[in-house]
């Protein structure tokens, strides 16, 4: 049986290309996993494999990534190496943490529901401090705004000619590393363990990233925060949008909801760097680089492009066309939430509460309802963020940038936690080449 599963797994690897379909038939799924039909149905009922109804047919399709993950998990019984491989791919937990807990009803920061924090209008700064210290302050807080140094101004001015709006996450890395060099943060040994200094540096970094969002705004330049401003107000100033209650609520909700989500790729990179003794700025820059690619930060652009339709009918047709190709509909199906991403649910509720909702947003909400009713497909957080940003008429680059800005707060908490463990994160590779 183990040998049969090994052959199936090799077959999966040989199909690993961009052209492969996102969904497989029941027969293909059973063949890949080496299981019977009853076992496949059991995996689906337990939420381990996502299924997709096909209009006009009793047959269903099954999410390929879920099937592949189950193939790897089934090999875990043969040794620790297989178990580790499974854990690295949406599998079992591998790093102990007291920061963020993932539950079916949503994620929790230090035991506090992230959605409830956003609903209570807890500021992003307070949510960040909760992640860092475990304490939720009663009063609203703002962080001290440091004056823009001449060196940083030269860097930010020079970036204006580099098509910055389309490279905001890369620019986040550049600016963060510059701040580290300017502060002499290369000496990570001296910095390690000095929590107050780390958090002061983190606040300065976040404020600088807010200013970078101005590259995508009407001013097309770095917009430094003014003293006394909150992070959300800094974003409003940088993006030149109305400082209305609904805009403040929407931006704050995105930042609070997305501040952390356990061990995502950017978080893992930040922790790996921290385990090797890197300075805060280097760890955060590595996290920003990890999410800058097509698979994470630029997924928001894909969702935005998909939503370029004026009616729910057009959107539904696009979804059905994607389904006919065996492709995942952009903005739908999250492996960790087979019954729906609670982050998307909350952000869409924020969208619904906005006054004078646009025709396109009403069409999108109707489309989401139809997707759930007709195809049993649930939205992901990317769709929620993009939908809210589109309603505010924000540039298409902003959803990914807001995700990176928000997640910086969580990375700081993970960096500090990893440092306290004193361990080096160093997974092993399994050699499968040909020896000579």
Q: What is the pLDDT of residues 405-425, one digit of tens each?
A: 999 999 999 999 999 999 899
Closest to 406 in 3D by CA, of 110, 148, 102, 169: 169
As a whole number of angstroms, the distance between CA 331 and CA 24 comes to 19
As a whole number of angstroms, the distance between CA 118 and CA 232 comes to 13
* 146-to-118, 143, 149 alpha-carbon distances in Å: 27, 9, 9
State how beta strands 60-63 and 100-103 pair: unpaired
- As a whole-number percent, the residues of the chain with pLDDT over 90 amount to 63
Ranges of CATH 1.10.1660 domains, the chain: 2-87
| Region 45-55 average pLDDT | 79
Ranges of CATH 1.10.580.10 domains, the chain: 99-436
Per-residue pLDDT, 357? 96
Q: What is the pLDDT of residues 348-404, one digit of tens each?
A: 999 999 999 999 999 999 999 999 998 889 999 999 999 999 999 999 999 999 999
Cβ atoms 373, 366 nearer than 8 A:
no
Q: What are phi and psi of 107, to 5 degrees?
A: -95, 155
| Region 306-310 average pLDDT | 87
Q: What is the pLDDT of residues 141-185, one digit of tens each?
A: 999 999 999 999 999 999 998 889 999 999 999 999 999 998 874
As a whole number of angstroms, the distance between CA 217 and CA 240 comes to 7
Per-residue pLDDT, 247? 98
Whole-prediction pTM value?
0.82
How many helices (H) and strands (E) would you count in the chain?
21, 6
Residues 99-436: name the CATH superfamily.
Answer: Citrate Synthase, domain 1 (1.10.580.10)
Whether the per-residue pLDDT at 335 is higher than 50: the answer is yes
Token pair 């805060």: residue: 280
Among the CATH numbers 3.40.50, 1.10.10, 1.10.1660, 3.30.70, which is that of 2-87?
Answer: 1.10.1660
| DSSP assigned state of 332 | B
């Amino acid at each position: 049986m183990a040998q049969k599963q090994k052959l199936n797994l090799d077959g999966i690897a040989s199909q690993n290309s961009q052209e492969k379909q996102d969904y497989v038939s029941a027969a293909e799924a059973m063949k890949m996993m080496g299981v019977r039909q009853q076992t496949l149905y059991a995996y689906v009922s337990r939420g381990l494999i996502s299924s997709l109804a096909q209009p006009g047919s009793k047959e269903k399709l099954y999410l390929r990534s879920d099937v592949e993950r189950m193939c790897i998990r089934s090999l875990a019984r043969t040794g620790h190496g297989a178990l580790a491989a499974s854990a690295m791919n949406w599998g079992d937990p591998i790093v102990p943490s007291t920061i963020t807990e993932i539950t079916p009803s949503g994620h929790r920061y230090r035991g506090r529901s992230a959605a409830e924090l956003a609903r209570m209008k807890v500021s992003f700064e307070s949510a960040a401090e909760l992640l860092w210290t475990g304490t939720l302050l009663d009063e609203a807080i703002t962080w001290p705004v440091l004056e823009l140094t001449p060196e940083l101004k030269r860097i930010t001015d020079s970036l204006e000619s580099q098509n910055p709006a389309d490279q905001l996450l890369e620019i986040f890395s550049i600016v963060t590393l510059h701040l580290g060099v300017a502060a002499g943060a290369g000496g990570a040994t001296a910095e390690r363990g000095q929590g107050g200094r780390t958090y002061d540096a983190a606040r300065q970094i976040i404020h600088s990233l807010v200013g970078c969002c101005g590259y995508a705004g009407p001013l097309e330049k770095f917009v430094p925060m003014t003293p006394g401003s909150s992070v959300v107000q800094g974003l409003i100033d940088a993006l030149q949008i109305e400082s209305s209650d609904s805009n403040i609520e929407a931006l704050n909700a995105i930042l609070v909801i997305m501040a952390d989500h356990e061990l995502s790729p950017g978080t893992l990179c930040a922790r790996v760097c921290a385990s090797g003794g890197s300075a805060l700025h280097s760890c955060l820059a590595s996290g920003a680089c990890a999410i800058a690619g097509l698979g994470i930060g630029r997924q928001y652009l894909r969702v935005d492009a998909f939503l370029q339709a004026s009616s729910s009918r057009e959107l539904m047709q696009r979804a059905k066309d994607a389904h006919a190709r065996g492709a995942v509909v952009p903005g739908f199906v999250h492996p960790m939430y087979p019954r729906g991403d609670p982050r998307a649910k909350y952000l869409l509720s924020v969208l619904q509460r906005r006054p004078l909702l646009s025709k396109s947003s009403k069409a999108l909400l109707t489309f989401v309802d139809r997707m759930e009713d007709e195809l049993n497909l649930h939205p992901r957080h990317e769709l929620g963020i993009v939908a809210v940003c589109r309603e505010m008429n924000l540039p298409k680059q902003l959803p990914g940038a807001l995700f990176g800005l928000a997640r910086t707060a969580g990375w700081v908490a993970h960096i500090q936690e990893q440092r306290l463990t004193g361990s080096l994160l160093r997974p092993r590779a399994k050699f499968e080449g040909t020896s000579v």
